[in-house]
Structure 1
Protein backbone atom coordinates (compact mmCIF):
# COMPACT_ATOMS: atom_id res chain seq x y z
CA UNK A 1 0.00 0.00 0.00
CA UNK A 2 1.55 3.34 -1.04
CA UNK A 3 2.35 5.63 1.85
CA UNK A 4 -0.15 8.48 2.06
CA UNK A 5 0.92 12.13 1.81
CA UNK A 6 -0.19 15.10 3.88
CA UNK A 7 -2.32 16.35 0.97
CA UNK A 8 -4.10 13.00 0.56
CA UNK A 9 -4.67 12.65 4.31
CA UNK A 10 -6.15 16.14 4.39
CA UNK A 11 -8.37 15.48 1.37
CA UNK A 12 -9.67 12.21 2.82
CA UNK A 13 -10.96 14.17 5.82
CA UNK A 14 -12.90 16.61 3.64
CA UNK A 15 -16.63 16.74 4.24
CA UNK A 16 -19.22 16.90 1.49
CA UNK A 17 -19.56 20.64 2.20
CA UNK A 18 -15.80 21.10 1.86
CA UNK A 19 -15.79 19.35 -1.53
CA UNK A 20 -18.88 21.22 -2.74
CA UNK A 21 -16.88 24.45 -2.97
CA UNK A 22 -15.72 23.28 -6.42
CA UNK A 23 -19.17 22.13 -7.56
CA UNK A 24 -21.73 24.43 -9.19
CA UNK A 25 -25.14 23.78 -7.61
CA UNK A 26 -26.88 23.74 -10.99
CA UNK A 27 -26.09 23.82 -14.69
CA UNK A 28 -28.21 24.18 -17.84
CA UNK A 29 -27.23 21.95 -20.75
CA UNK A 30 -29.21 21.66 -23.99
CA UNK A 31 -32.14 23.57 -22.42
CA UNK A 32 -32.29 21.10 -19.54
CA UNK A 33 -31.58 22.04 -15.94
CA UNK A 34 -29.44 19.77 -13.78
CA UNK A 35 -28.62 19.99 -10.11
CA UNK A 36 -25.20 18.90 -8.87
CA UNK A 37 -24.14 17.80 -5.41
CA UNK A 38 -21.40 15.97 -3.52
CA UNK A 39 -22.08 13.28 -0.94
CA UNK A 40 -20.08 10.93 1.23
CA UNK A 41 -21.04 7.28 1.56
CA UNK A 42 -22.78 7.97 4.88
CA UNK A 43 -24.91 10.63 3.15
CA UNK A 44 -26.23 8.18 0.55
CA UNK A 45 -29.67 6.82 1.39
CA UNK A 46 -31.01 3.41 0.41
CA UNK A 47 -33.00 4.60 -2.62
CA UNK A 48 -30.01 6.59 -3.85
CA UNK A 49 -27.75 3.55 -3.54
CA UNK A 50 -30.30 1.59 -5.55
CA UNK A 51 -30.39 4.19 -8.34
CA UNK A 52 -26.60 4.42 -8.42
CA UNK A 53 -26.29 0.65 -8.67
CA UNK A 54 -28.97 0.35 -11.38
CA UNK A 55 -27.20 2.89 -13.59
CA UNK A 56 -23.93 0.99 -13.17
CA UNK A 57 -25.58 -2.37 -13.88
CA UNK A 58 -27.38 -0.97 -16.92
CA UNK A 59 -24.10 0.14 -18.48
CA UNK A 60 -21.53 -2.35 -17.25
CA UNK A 61 -23.12 -5.75 -16.57
CA UNK A 62 -22.29 -7.31 -19.96
CA UNK A 63 -18.81 -5.76 -20.06
CA UNK A 64 -17.90 -7.04 -16.59
CA UNK A 65 -19.21 -10.53 -17.30
CA UNK A 66 -16.90 -10.75 -20.32
CA UNK A 67 -13.89 -9.26 -18.51
CA UNK A 68 -11.18 -10.59 -16.23
CA UNK A 69 -12.93 -8.82 -13.34
CA UNK A 70 -16.03 -10.98 -13.72
CA UNK A 71 -19.50 -10.09 -12.46
CA UNK A 72 -19.53 -10.00 -8.67
CA UNK A 73 -22.22 -7.56 -7.46
CA UNK A 74 -21.34 -7.80 -3.77
CA UNK A 75 -17.65 -7.14 -4.35
CA UNK A 76 -18.42 -4.24 -6.67
CA UNK A 77 -20.91 -2.69 -4.25
CA UNK A 78 -18.32 -2.92 -1.47
CA UNK A 79 -15.88 -1.02 -3.67
CA UNK A 80 -18.41 1.59 -4.80
CA UNK A 81 -19.81 2.31 -1.35
CA UNK A 82 -16.50 2.18 0.49
CA UNK A 83 -16.34 4.57 3.50
CA UNK A 84 -13.77 6.73 1.67
CA UNK A 85 -15.82 7.00 -1.53
CA UNK A 86 -17.17 10.39 -2.53
CA UNK A 87 -20.09 10.84 -4.92
CA UNK A 88 -20.54 13.64 -7.45
CA UNK A 89 -24.22 13.41 -8.36
CA UNK A 90 -26.31 14.95 -11.15
CA UNK A 91 -30.10 15.08 -11.21
CA UNK A 92 -32.43 16.57 -13.80
CA UNK A 93 -34.49 19.40 -12.33
CA UNK A 94 -38.08 18.76 -13.36
CA UNK A 95 -39.81 21.08 -10.87
CA UNK A 96 -38.78 23.90 -8.54
CA UNK A 97 -38.78 21.69 -5.44
CA UNK A 98 -36.68 18.91 -7.08
CA UNK A 99 -39.28 16.46 -5.69
CA UNK A 100 -38.91 13.03 -7.23
CA UNK A 101 -35.73 13.92 -9.12
CA UNK A 102 -33.77 10.71 -9.55
CA UNK A 103 -30.01 10.42 -9.99
CA UNK A 104 -29.23 10.35 -13.71
CA UNK A 105 -25.42 10.59 -13.66
CA UNK A 106 -22.63 10.30 -11.13
CA UNK A 107 -18.93 9.92 -10.51
CA UNK A 108 -17.46 7.98 -7.59
CA UNK A 109 -13.99 9.06 -6.50
CA UNK A 110 -11.41 8.82 -3.75
CA UNK A 111 -8.19 10.61 -2.91
CA UNK A 112 -5.21 8.26 -3.12
CA UNK A 113 -1.42 8.05 -3.39
CA UNK A 114 -0.42 6.31 -6.65
CA UNK A 115 3.09 5.98 -8.06
CA UNK A 116 4.36 8.65 -5.65
CA UNK A 117 1.74 11.11 -6.79
CA UNK A 118 -1.37 12.49 -5.10
CA UNK A 119 -4.34 11.64 -7.28
CA UNK A 120 -8.09 11.85 -7.43
CA UNK A 121 -9.02 8.32 -8.51
CA UNK A 122 -12.32 8.07 -10.35
CA UNK A 123 -13.76 4.62 -9.64
CA UNK A 124 -16.90 5.13 -11.69
CA UNK A 125 -18.34 7.69 -14.05
CA UNK A 126 -21.76 6.66 -15.28
CA UNK A 127 -24.58 8.39 -17.14
CA UNK A 128 -28.02 6.84 -17.42
CA UNK A 129 -28.91 5.83 -20.98
CA UNK A 130 -31.77 8.33 -21.06
CA UNK A 131 -29.48 11.21 -20.12
CA UNK A 132 -26.65 10.68 -22.60
CA UNK A 133 -25.59 13.10 -25.34
CA UNK A 134 -26.21 16.13 -23.12
CA UNK A 135 -22.57 16.59 -22.12
CA UNK A 136 -23.05 15.42 -18.53
CA UNK A 137 -20.03 13.12 -18.70
CA UNK A 138 -17.71 15.93 -19.75
CA UNK A 139 -19.17 18.17 -17.07
CA UNK A 140 -18.45 15.57 -14.38
CA UNK A 141 -14.85 15.14 -15.62
CA UNK A 142 -14.27 18.89 -15.46
CA UNK A 143 -15.71 19.11 -11.96
CA UNK A 144 -13.60 16.17 -10.79
CA UNK A 145 -10.56 18.01 -12.12
CA UNK A 146 -11.58 21.17 -10.26
CA UNK A 147 -11.96 19.18 -7.03
CA UNK A 148 -8.55 17.60 -7.61
CA UNK A 149 -6.92 21.00 -8.08
CA UNK A 150 -8.68 22.38 -4.99
CA UNK A 151 -7.21 19.59 -2.83
CA UNK A 152 -3.70 19.64 -4.27
CA UNK A 153 -3.86 16.49 -6.41
CA UNK A 154 -1.55 16.18 -9.43
CA UNK A 155 -3.85 14.16 -11.71
CA UNK A 156 -7.15 12.38 -12.15
CA UNK A 157 -6.80 8.62 -12.71
CA UNK A 158 -9.19 5.82 -13.62
CA UNK A 159 -9.36 2.25 -14.92
CA UNK A 160 -11.22 1.49 -18.16
CA UNK A 161 -11.98 -1.81 -19.85
CA UNK A 162 -10.51 -2.04 -23.34
CA UNK A 163 -13.76 -3.57 -24.59
CA UNK A 164 -15.59 -0.40 -23.55
CA UNK A 165 -14.74 1.45 -26.76
CA UNK A 166 -17.23 4.26 -26.17
CA UNK A 167 -15.71 5.03 -22.76
CA UNK A 168 -12.14 4.97 -24.09
CA UNK A 169 -13.10 7.35 -26.89
CA UNK A 170 -14.85 9.64 -24.40
CA UNK A 171 -11.91 9.73 -21.99
CA UNK A 172 -9.48 10.42 -24.84
CA UNK A 173 -11.67 13.36 -25.92
CA UNK A 174 -11.51 14.81 -22.39
CA UNK A 175 -7.72 14.72 -22.15
CA UNK A 176 -6.97 11.30 -20.65
CA UNK A 177 -4.01 9.25 -21.88
CA UNK A 178 -2.57 5.87 -20.91
CA UNK A 179 -0.80 6.28 -17.59
CA UNK A 180 2.75 5.02 -17.06
CA UNK A 181 1.43 2.65 -14.40
CA UNK A 182 -0.91 0.93 -16.89
CA UNK A 183 0.03 -2.67 -17.83
CA UNK A 184 -0.15 -1.73 -21.52
CA UNK A 185 2.02 1.39 -21.29
CA UNK A 186 5.42 -0.26 -21.83
CA UNK A 187 6.46 -1.66 -25.18
CA UNK A 188 8.19 -4.86 -26.14
CA UNK A 189 11.49 -5.16 -28.07
CA UNK A 190 9.71 -4.61 -31.38
CA UNK A 191 8.02 -1.45 -30.18
CA UNK A 192 4.55 -2.96 -29.92
CA UNK A 193 2.40 -2.26 -26.89
CA UNK A 194 1.68 -5.24 -24.67
CA UNK A 195 -1.91 -6.36 -24.73
CA UNK A 196 -2.20 -9.10 -22.11
CA UNK A 197 -4.57 -7.16 -19.83
CA UNK A 198 -8.11 -6.31 -20.80
CA UNK A 199 -8.02 -2.92 -19.08
CA UNK A 200 -6.00 0.29 -19.19
CA UNK A 201 -5.16 2.80 -16.48
CA UNK A 202 -5.72 6.33 -17.77
CA UNK A 203 -4.77 9.68 -16.30
CA UNK A 204 -5.25 13.36 -16.89
CA UNK A 205 -2.71 15.83 -15.51
CA UNK A 206 -3.94 18.72 -13.41
CA UNK A 207 -2.49 22.25 -13.47
Structure 2
Protein backbone atom coordinates (compact mmCIF):
# COMPACT_ATOMS: atom_id res chain seq x y z
CA UNK A 1 0.00 0.00 0.00
CA UNK A 2 1.33 3.43 -0.83
CA UNK A 3 2.79 5.57 1.93
CA UNK A 4 1.30 8.92 0.93
CA UNK A 5 -1.24 10.22 3.40
CA UNK A 6 -3.80 11.55 0.96
CA UNK A 7 -5.46 14.93 1.20
CA UNK A 8 -3.57 16.44 4.13
CA UNK A 9 -1.90 19.41 2.47
CA UNK A 10 -4.90 21.63 1.89
CA UNK A 11 -6.91 23.78 4.26
CA UNK A 12 -10.59 23.06 4.52
CA UNK A 13 -12.43 24.93 1.80
CA UNK A 14 -15.87 26.41 2.19
CA UNK A 15 -17.87 25.15 -0.75
CA UNK A 16 -21.53 24.34 -1.12
CA UNK A 17 -21.96 20.61 -0.69
CA UNK A 18 -24.26 18.77 -3.10
CA UNK A 19 -26.08 15.78 -1.65
CA UNK A 20 -26.58 12.45 -3.37
CA UNK A 21 -29.86 11.99 -5.17
CA UNK A 22 -32.20 9.18 -4.21
CA UNK A 23 -33.53 8.87 -7.75
CA UNK A 24 -32.69 5.89 -9.92
CA UNK A 25 -29.65 6.75 -11.96
CA UNK A 26 -28.56 5.72 -15.44
CA UNK A 27 -25.26 3.93 -14.92
CA UNK A 28 -24.60 3.12 -18.57
CA UNK A 29 -21.81 5.65 -19.13
CA UNK A 30 -19.21 3.79 -17.07
CA UNK A 31 -18.79 0.10 -17.82
CA UNK A 32 -17.04 -2.76 -16.06
CA UNK A 33 -14.92 -3.18 -19.18
CA UNK A 34 -13.68 0.40 -18.88
CA UNK A 35 -12.85 -0.12 -15.21
CA UNK A 36 -10.93 -3.30 -16.07
CA UNK A 37 -8.99 -1.41 -18.72
CA UNK A 38 -7.93 1.13 -16.08
CA UNK A 39 -7.50 -1.37 -13.25
CA UNK A 40 -6.84 -4.86 -14.71
CA UNK A 41 -6.73 -6.59 -11.33
CA UNK A 42 -10.34 -5.60 -10.69
CA UNK A 43 -11.51 -8.42 -12.94
CA UNK A 44 -11.93 -10.56 -9.80
CA UNK A 45 -11.26 -10.70 -6.08
CA UNK A 46 -9.48 -14.03 -5.93
CA UNK A 47 -7.23 -14.20 -2.88
CA UNK A 48 -8.00 -10.64 -1.70
CA UNK A 49 -5.21 -9.01 0.34
CA UNK A 50 -7.62 -7.64 2.96
CA UNK A 51 -10.78 -9.44 4.05
CA UNK A 52 -13.97 -7.70 3.00
CA UNK A 53 -12.30 -4.82 1.17
CA UNK A 54 -11.76 -5.96 -2.43
CA UNK A 55 -14.28 -4.90 -5.07
CA UNK A 56 -14.49 -6.01 -8.68
CA UNK A 57 -15.03 -3.88 -11.76
CA UNK A 58 -18.61 -5.16 -11.84
CA UNK A 59 -19.14 -3.62 -8.40
CA UNK A 60 -17.16 -0.47 -9.06
CA UNK A 61 -18.63 0.59 -12.40
CA UNK A 62 -22.28 1.19 -11.45
CA UNK A 63 -21.38 2.85 -8.17
CA UNK A 64 -18.84 5.19 -9.76
CA UNK A 65 -21.30 6.02 -12.52
CA UNK A 66 -23.99 6.77 -9.94
CA UNK A 67 -21.61 9.09 -8.09
CA UNK A 68 -21.01 11.05 -11.28
CA UNK A 69 -24.78 11.37 -11.72
CA UNK A 70 -25.31 12.36 -8.10
CA UNK A 71 -22.64 15.06 -8.12
CA UNK A 72 -23.08 16.24 -11.70
CA UNK A 73 -19.67 15.17 -13.03
CA UNK A 74 -20.38 15.09 -16.77
CA UNK A 75 -16.92 15.88 -18.15
CA UNK A 76 -15.17 12.71 -19.36
CA UNK A 77 -11.82 14.29 -18.49
CA UNK A 78 -12.94 14.84 -14.90
CA UNK A 79 -14.39 11.34 -14.72
CA UNK A 80 -11.12 9.84 -15.96
CA UNK A 81 -9.09 11.78 -13.39
CA UNK A 82 -11.34 10.71 -10.51
CA UNK A 83 -11.39 7.04 -11.52
CA UNK A 84 -7.62 7.02 -12.02
CA UNK A 85 -7.04 8.51 -8.58
CA UNK A 86 -9.31 5.95 -6.94
CA UNK A 87 -7.69 3.07 -8.82
CA UNK A 88 -4.23 4.19 -7.71
CA UNK A 89 -5.10 4.94 -4.09
CA UNK A 90 -7.11 1.75 -3.53
CA UNK A 91 -4.65 -0.43 -5.44
CA UNK A 92 -7.22 -1.20 -8.11
CA UNK A 93 -10.13 -1.35 -5.65
CA UNK A 94 -8.51 -4.02 -3.50
CA UNK A 95 -8.46 -1.79 -0.41
CA UNK A 96 -10.94 0.56 1.22
CA UNK A 97 -8.93 1.34 4.36
CA UNK A 98 -5.47 2.87 4.68
CA UNK A 99 -2.87 0.24 5.53
CA UNK A 100 0.41 2.18 5.46
CA UNK A 101 1.01 4.07 7.65
CA UNK A 102 -2.32 2.80 8.98
CA UNK A 103 -4.17 6.03 9.73
CA UNK A 104 -7.35 5.31 11.68
CA UNK A 105 -10.39 6.45 9.74
CA UNK A 106 -8.61 7.04 6.43
CA UNK A 107 -10.27 5.26 3.56
CA UNK A 108 -13.07 4.86 1.01
CA UNK A 109 -11.96 4.16 -2.56
CA UNK A 110 -10.61 7.70 -2.73
CA UNK A 111 -8.54 6.89 0.39
CA UNK A 112 -9.56 10.17 1.98
CA UNK A 113 -8.16 11.47 5.23
CA UNK A 114 -10.41 11.27 8.32
CA UNK A 115 -11.17 14.99 8.24
CA UNK A 116 -12.52 14.78 4.70
CA UNK A 117 -14.45 11.62 5.47
CA UNK A 118 -16.12 13.47 8.33
CA UNK A 119 -17.13 16.29 5.98
CA UNK A 120 -18.25 13.83 3.33
CA UNK A 121 -20.33 11.75 5.73
CA UNK A 122 -21.91 14.88 7.19
CA UNK A 123 -23.05 15.91 3.71
CA UNK A 124 -25.20 12.77 3.23
CA UNK A 125 -28.66 13.18 4.79
CA UNK A 126 -29.43 9.45 4.74
CA UNK A 127 -26.73 8.68 7.30
CA UNK A 128 -26.92 11.85 9.40
CA UNK A 129 -28.23 10.05 12.50
CA UNK A 130 -25.44 7.47 12.38
CA UNK A 131 -22.80 10.14 11.83
CA UNK A 132 -24.10 12.14 14.78
CA UNK A 133 -24.02 9.03 16.95
CA UNK A 134 -20.39 8.42 15.97
CA UNK A 135 -19.54 11.66 17.78
CA UNK A 136 -16.58 12.42 15.55
CA UNK A 137 -14.89 9.03 16.02
CA UNK A 138 -12.94 8.60 12.78
CA UNK A 139 -13.03 4.82 12.65
CA UNK A 140 -16.79 4.71 13.17
CA UNK A 141 -17.40 7.33 10.50
CA UNK A 142 -15.36 5.32 8.02
CA UNK A 143 -17.31 2.19 8.95
CA UNK A 144 -20.55 4.02 8.19
CA UNK A 145 -19.31 5.09 4.76
CA UNK A 146 -17.95 1.65 3.88
CA UNK A 147 -21.22 -0.07 4.85
CA UNK A 148 -22.77 1.19 1.60
CA UNK A 149 -20.94 0.78 -1.72
CA UNK A 150 -22.60 3.94 -3.04
CA UNK A 151 -20.88 6.04 -0.37
CA UNK A 152 -17.63 4.05 -0.53
CA UNK A 153 -17.27 4.73 -4.26
CA UNK A 154 -18.85 8.18 -4.12
CA UNK A 155 -16.07 9.97 -2.27
CA UNK A 156 -14.03 10.79 -5.38
CA UNK A 157 -16.83 12.68 -7.10
CA UNK A 158 -17.78 14.39 -3.84
CA UNK A 159 -14.23 15.58 -3.29
CA UNK A 160 -13.84 16.92 -6.82
CA UNK A 161 -17.09 18.87 -6.74
CA UNK A 162 -16.86 20.26 -3.21
CA UNK A 163 -13.16 20.68 -2.45
CA UNK A 164 -11.60 21.68 -5.79
CA UNK A 165 -11.66 25.27 -6.95
CA UNK A 166 -13.55 25.98 -10.16
CA UNK A 167 -10.35 27.06 -11.92
CA UNK A 168 -8.82 23.64 -11.22
CA UNK A 169 -11.88 21.90 -12.60
CA UNK A 170 -11.99 24.04 -15.72
CA UNK A 171 -8.37 23.25 -16.55
CA UNK A 172 -8.94 19.57 -15.78
CA UNK A 173 -11.89 19.52 -18.18
CA UNK A 174 -9.51 20.32 -21.04
CA UNK A 175 -8.23 16.75 -20.89
CA UNK A 176 -4.64 17.95 -20.85
CA UNK A 177 -1.83 16.62 -18.69
CA UNK A 178 -1.45 20.11 -17.27
CA UNK A 179 -5.07 19.97 -16.12
CA UNK A 180 -4.57 16.57 -14.52
CA UNK A 181 -1.40 17.74 -12.74
CA UNK A 182 -3.27 20.77 -11.41
CA UNK A 183 -5.99 18.51 -10.01
CA UNK A 184 -3.51 16.18 -8.30
CA UNK A 185 -1.12 18.80 -6.92
CA UNK A 186 -3.44 21.79 -6.60
CA UNK A 187 -6.52 20.12 -5.17
CA UNK A 188 -5.78 16.59 -3.97
CA UNK A 189 -2.52 17.93 -2.57
CA UNK A 190 -0.14 15.16 -3.48
CA UNK A 191 2.50 14.34 -6.09
CA UNK A 192 1.57 13.87 -9.75
CA UNK A 193 4.06 11.03 -9.98
CA UNK A 194 4.59 8.38 -12.64
CA UNK A 195 2.42 5.81 -10.88
CA UNK A 196 -0.58 8.12 -10.81
CA UNK A 197 0.13 9.26 -14.36
CA UNK A 198 -0.04 5.70 -15.68
CA UNK A 199 -3.51 5.21 -14.24
CA UNK A 200 -4.62 8.57 -15.59
CA UNK A 201 -3.36 7.70 -19.07
CA UNK A 202 -5.23 4.40 -18.95
CA UNK A 203 -8.40 6.15 -17.81
CA UNK A 204 -8.15 8.80 -20.52
CA UNK A 205 -7.86 6.03 -23.12
CA UNK A 206 -10.65 3.92 -21.63
CA UNK A 207 -13.11 6.82 -21.51
CA UNK A 208 -12.11 8.27 -24.86
CA UNK A 209 -11.02 11.65 -23.52
CA UNK A 210 -9.68 14.08 -26.10
CA UNK A 211 -7.62 17.15 -25.25
Task: Tell whether the structures are fold-level matches, with TM greater than 0.5.
Answer: no
Bigger radius of gyration among the two: 1
Higher strand share: 1
User: Quick one: higher RCO (CA 8 Å, sep 6+), 1 or 2?
Assistant: 2
The normalised TM-score by structure 1 is 0.27
Higher helix share: 2
